Structure 1
Amino acid sequence: MVKSAPPENTNRKPSKLEGLKERSNFLREPVATEILEDTTHFSEEAIQILKFHGSYQQDNRDNRVRGQEKDYQMMLRTRNPGGFVPPQLYLALDNLSNEYGNHTMRITTRQGFQLHGILKKNLKSSIAAIVKNMGSTLGACGDLNRNVMAPAAPYKNKPEYQYAVEYADKIADLLTPQTGAYYEIWLDGEKAISAEESPEVKAARQRNGTGTVFHDNPEEPIYGTHYMPRKFKISVTVPGDNSIDLYTQDLSLVVITDENSELLGFNVFSGGGLGRTHNKEETFARKADEICYVSKEDVYELVKAIVATQRDYGDRSQRRHARLKYLINDWGVEKFRSQVEEYFGKSLEPFRELPEFKYQDYLGWNEQGDGKLFLGISIENGRVKDEGSFQLKTALRKIVEQFNLDVRLTANHNLVFCDIEPDKKAAIEEILQKHGINSDPDKIEPLVRYAMACPALPTCGLAIAESERVIPGILDRIRTLLNQVGLQKEHFVVRMTGCPNGCARPYMAEMGFVGSAPDAYQLWLGGSPNQTRLALPYMERLHQNDLETQLEPMFVYFKESKETEESFGDFCNRVGFDAIREYAAKYETKKVAPGVSDDADGLVETMADSTTAAVTEESDRQVVAIDNTTTAKKLRHRVTVKDDVYSKLKEASESQGKPMTDMVNEAIKAYLEAE
């Protein structure tokens, strides 16, 4: 007898959003009605359903005026399994960002693109253009499986990497919503031509007998009427490659091959997730657990079993407790395995031994393994834009147009060009250099290379503090401080978010900044360089003006007590926060910062209430210029420079490998001495 899926958990009153999903007619309403209305924005109910279609409604907080309507705009997110973007789609997105968006594209930390600034009246045209150019936004947001991640390196001589990409695609297909709502609303019912779905995936979606599928729900056989309790994140990677932050996923699969590189199956991790809420101790970041091994023949059934367990037993009453990580934390791993086995229909096999995972970013020129090359381009905070002499957006478009290259996006919001003929390398380098783009990762400031920040203000409705707009200045100040205390060669993973939801994964960083108030952040320390260990909260509220005061003692302690080759995150984890706080309490800040004389005080305007390296109302840039340090109080003096000067300063800083602060100090000092 075929076992049907059990009724969804109704022990407690479901949240309001559960009712919205039930009444939506499989994600149709009220979006289908409101997209036809001549208004500037959607209703709150439509906003929630719209997420399943890949869009968030936002407003530009920089443009808010009391008594006037908000500056409503839509953020549109693409679904790109494994980060794959064909040239046709890349050019379509670039066009849309100019025609309807804010003239930038942003690479997400889940290997997709986001377009910002799209008006409601242009949303349908934008989504239709994406779909007609081999793309999709379906399932990029909402309570279902999000973009499936995989390493972006296009190795052709390493079969395990090809398996990872193949199964990322197939699992994404398996868990794609089946409702016709998406094509009905955005393409008037016309289903665009797309790659043929694998027959094994089609069969797996319908196959049941253990309760993973709803037989009476052909429109959504896996998700059912209510979809998932919350978002669900999956990655597929290879042993040793943690380029996709595997411990942060609801479900991660690790490719297992035999001695002939033939695929055998997958190791399975489950229960990772980073979103939390300030002052709500019941919410927390959590690493994924080792669950089992599954053969390749059974991998789809195992994925369905884990999805069904979360679907049917995840918390649908309290959304901040609805992720799979809380179910596993509440149940324990053994109970979770037992329930998964019921849906799987047989016992789970033991997890297999794996090598240590390492973080990789695949920047620079690399051998692809088939005689061709691939090129990883570092994109600061994932923002593809033109700014001054730094013409990144123009350069990338020219390369795609001229050489028709496939693109893969990385989980560290960088970009990889694939399948480059060796004789095209010089021409590509010429385009990059002409537009001010550096392709050599060794010439990138390491703090910048390994950092990530979320968009935050002004568009994200959840942002409490700045992130993308201030992290360049924060990193510059950290580099200056490291240089001053004699740690010129040190670097570590810094990540910043404007709120505790963790989109830039700060809780796995060696140093994480999590917005807790305007211009203030929780400080998290102790994650590992390879993102295999959770950081812990060190300070509840660090105002950005106090950055040097708080970090200087721990950097000096690190310099004095670090072990050979020990990273900053490993050091913090080893010595513990009590030891760091004890050292800081006894630490006496140097009276004068290295290279700055006592009479430097007052040379520049104090701007203590401003945001470092953020755009001011006059579109100027603020650059930390002088450290004036006393034992009683540490002040940060800042000077304001025009945008064009800032762009040139940043370009010179990157090309010379020197912090902007040092260059400003040298220029001011030389000017004053000349006087």
Structure 2
Amino acid sequence: MTEQKLSDNERLKRQSNFLRGTIEQDLDDRITGGFTADNFQLIRFHGMYQQDDRDIRAERAKQKLEPLQNVMLRARMPGGVITPKQWLAIDKFADEHTSYGSIRLTTRQTFQFHGVLKPNIKLMHQTLNKIGIDSIATAGDVNRNVLCTTNPVESELHQQAYEWAKKISEHLLPKTRAYAEIWLDGEKLETTDEEPILGSNYLPRKFKTTVVIPPQNDVDVHANDLNFIAIADNGQLVGFNVLVGGGLAMTHGDHSTYPRRADDFGFIPLEKTLDIAAAVVTTQRDWGNRSNRKNAKTKYTLDRVGSDVFKAEVEKRAGIKFEDSRPYEFTDRGDRIGWVEGIDGKHHLALFIENGRLLDYPNKPLKTGVAEIAKVHRGDFRMTANQNLIVAGVLAKDKAKIEQIARDHGLMDDSVSEQRKNSMACVSLPTCPLAMAEAERFLPEFVTDVEGILAKHGLNEDENIILRVTGCPNGCGRAMLAEIGLVGKAPGRYNLHLGGNRNGTRVPKMYRENITVAQIMDEMDSLVGRWATERQQNEGFGDFTIRAGIIDEVKISMRDFYA
């Protein structure tokens, strides 16, 4: 059998000198605002993507100017916890050194800066470093930001799970000193870098990990390569059920790519958590596809070698046998917007941030509002995987003051519908280079139209459909775990997917391909009308579409329908 040629990214990583490349030389090049050759890819391992403003790309071309090159930075924030002091620092940087002036809360439970020009990139990393934040391994072929259920109610259990999310993140980080040398002016040591877990060529493709506390599935476990489901006994964490091989990305028209649910490998005690994490990662490192990046994720490795074979190898490397999974149930995955009280007597305010975009809008200065809360808040903030922000650990005596600031700045709005709270989109245009259709800018008006359809068919304000929009098929907005998922195909056109469920354990199936927004609204009008009149008691929209025979159920992955 002829050995397949490796993808060029494998050459790039091999020749990068452990992710250094010639990034430093590029930083000094003022002829271009971007990074050249391999460095365009290598900066991703340092948490950045090179982008440009696509709204003005054509006009700049007419003027014989290169695109307005800049970078987007995604911070590493395991579990999404950030202090008020850190928040005020990132707020100030966004004001003074980004083109858009906003802070973007992401589905990876962290924040992003958009529009940072080359002269400010080093300053950005050094500013973050001073407040204890970095962006190591938030992009590229590595384990990315580790998510953790925010769960503000069960405070003690959340703290235990959060500590494990941090430990997993640190354990799986790249060990190279490249980040410190390039961005923090770290001393260049004459030593041989070693990557005992990731390897000298790092992983075949990106890798995502979560820690989740049932019954909340707010991190969407089936979108991730590796998931640790917290199992508690009398409020104390005793171990994890381990799920492996989830992922949502695909390529239009390529049936060898597909979204897939994660497989349940079984239960492990706490003390074996890091061993299992390393064993899953190293197995994927050694067995993953390094020839075809479209088939390089863990989900494809499991399907190619067999889930049982992969699991046995993980057990061998970790020196443990998985026990039978302990019982658990997911009942919801949305954030509890508004005030909730934790078992420790402290209060937590979840703020709905549409699309996660914190910016000062006319009569709605959201970004300023969060900064004002940060000036007086004595607890911490928690960024959620649903793009919202929790003001956590508020004492009873401070509740009124925090709420007043939130209301004065438009951060609390009692008129926001349940439908809007359960709708989400990726960034897409104008900054994402992969975007095929609008998402973030499209969603608000689209939700308004959906609200109109729900009202037309007599559904009350508490009823909603899990709705998500992505500008391309790469999955950032997690549309492929929605009851209704729109996946961008071209400007103004989307693939319409139906059949996910409310707790995020089922992949939807494509119902209509490459249709216009008007056609989508017609379809939704008809489908919602049927749901309103034909549903069973408490039957969600996604479950109804399957029971009524509107769409076939996806058992494991969309590969089932391509075979």
Structure 1 segment 199-598 matched on structure 2, within 5 A: 219-258=194-233, 260-438=234-412, 440=414, 443-489=415-461, 490-577=463-550
Deviations 1:498-523 (A, max 9, x none): 00001010010011110001100000
Q: Is 1:165 aligned to 2:159, yes or no?
A: no
What is the aligned-residue identity percentage? 40
Q: Secondary structure in 2 aligned to 1:163? A: helix
In structure 2, what is the Cα distance between the partners aligned to 1:578 and 1:353?
A: 30
Q: Contact 1:161 / 1:237 at 8 angstroms: preserved in 2?
A: no
Letter in structure 2 aligned against 1:418: A
In structure 2, what is the Cα distance between the partners aligned to 1:537 and 1:428?
A: 44
In structure 1, what is the Cα distance between the partners aligned to 2:311 and 2:552?
A: 39
In structure 1, what is the Cα distance between the partners aligned to 2:230 and 2:551?
A: 40
Pair 1:52–1:449, CA change in 2 (3 A): same
Letter in structure 2 aligned against 1:61: R
Q: Secondary structure in 2 aligned to 1:401? A: helix
Q: Contact 1:527 / 1:573 at 8 angstroms: preserved in 2?
A: no
Deviation of 1:289 (Å): 0.8
Decide which structure has the larger Cα Rg and report it: 1
Deviation of 1:488 (Å): 4.2
Q: Which runs of 5+ in 2 are unaligned?
A: 554-563
Counterpart of 1:124 in structure 2 is 122
In structure 2, what is the Cα distance between the partners aligned to 1:392 and 1:356?
A: 32
Deviation of 1:257 (Å): 2.7
Deviation of 1:264 (Å): 2.4
Deviations 1:342-392 (A, max 9, x none): 212343322222234422413211112223211110000000011100111
Pair 1:261–1:167, CA change in 2 (3 A): same
In structure 1, what is the Cα distance between the partners aligned to 2:327 and 2:530?
A: 37
In structure 1, what is the Cα distance between the partners aligned to 2:72 and 2:22?
A: 18
**More displaced, 398-407 or 157-166?**
157-166
Q: Secondary structure in 1 aligned to 2:231? A: strand
Deviations 1:138-176 (A, max 9, x none): 111111000000011344x55332221110010001011
Q: Contact 2:181 / 2:187 at 8 angstroms: preserved in 1?
A: yes
Q: Secondary structure in 1 aligned to 2:181? A: helix
Counterpart of 1:649 in structure 2 is none
In structure 2, what is the Cα distance between the partners aligned to 1:491 and 1:170?
A: 37
Q: Secondary structure in 1 aligned to 2:147? A: coil
Letter in structure 2 aligned against 1:105: I
Q: Secondary structure in 1 aligned to 2:505? A: coil
Deviation of 1:249 (Å): 1.1
The number of aligned residues is 543
Q: Contact 1:153 / 1:161 at 8 angstroms: preserved in 2?
A: yes
Q: Contact 1:526 / 1:535 at 8 angstroms: preserved in 2?
A: yes
Letter in structure 1 aligned against 2:84: P
Counterpart of 1:13 in structure 2 is 5
Q: Cα RMSD (Å) of the superposition?
A: 1.9
Structure 1 segment 28-107 matched on structure 2, within 5 A: 28-38=20-30, 39-64=32-57, 65=59, 66=61, 67-101=64-98, 102-107=100-105
Deviations 1:205-235 (A, max 9, x none): xxxxxxxxxxx97531211111111111000
**More displaced, 564-573 or 399-408?**
399-408
Q: Contact 1:163 / 1:255 at 8 angstroms: preserved in 2?
A: no
Q: Which structure has more RCO (C-alpha within 8 Å, separation ≥ 6)? A: 2
Q: Contact 2:176 / 2:193 at 8 angstroms: preserved in 1?
A: no
Calculate the TM-score normalised by the size of structure 2: 0.93
In structure 2, what is the Cα distance between the partners aligned to 1:480 and 1:345?
A: 56
In structure 2, what is the Cα distance between the partners aligned to 1:538 and 1:53?
A: 39
In structure 1, what is the Cα distance between the partners aligned to 2:151 and 2:431?
A: 32
Letter in structure 2 aligned against 1:349: E
Q: Contact 2:509 / 2:552 at 8 angstroms: preserved in 1?
A: no
Pair 1:218–1:408, CA change in 2 (3 A): same
Pair 1:430–1:356, CA change in 2 (3 A): closer
Deviation of 1:92 (Å): 1.4
In structure 1, what is the Cα distance between the partners aligned to 2:473 and 2:6?
A: 24
Q: Contact 1:365 / 1:373 at 8 angstroms: preserved in 2?
A: yes
Pair 1:348–1:432, CA change in 2 (3 A): closer
Deviations 1:256-305 (A, max 9, x none): 233x4343221100000001000001100001010121111211111111
Q: Which runs of 5+ in 1 are unaligned?
A: 1-9, 192-215, 581-675
Deviation of 1:54 (Å): 0.5
Q: Contact 2:245 / 2:260 at 8 angstroms: preserved in 1?
A: yes
Calculate the TM-score normalised by the size of structure 1: 0.78
Q: Contact 1:399 / 1:405 at 8 angstroms: preserved in 2?
A: no
Q: Contact 1:357 / 1:532 at 8 angstroms: preserved in 2?
A: no
Q: Secondary structure in 2 aligned to 1:176? A: coil
Pair 1:356–1:404, CA change in 2 (3 A): closer
Letter in structure 1 aligned against 2:44: K
Q: Contact 1:376 / 1:439 at 8 angstroms: preserved in 2?
A: no
Counterpart of 1:673 in structure 2 is none
**More displaced, 273-282 or 489-498?**
489-498
In structure 2, what is the Cα distance between the partners aligned to 1:548 and 1:459?
A: 27
Q: Contact 2:84 / 2:377 at 8 angstroms: preserved in 1?
A: no
In structure 2, what is the Cα distance between the partners aligned to 1:416 and 1:153?
A: 10
Deviation of 1:37 (Å): 1.9
In structure 2, what is the Cα distance between the partners aligned to 1:220 and 1:461?
A: 31
Letter in structure 2 aligned against 1:89: Q
Deviations 1:102-144 (A, max 9, x none): 1111001010101111101111101110111111111111110
In structure 2, what is the Cα distance between the partners aligned to 1:356 and 1:437?
A: 28
Pair 1:419–1:439, CA change in 2 (3 A): farther
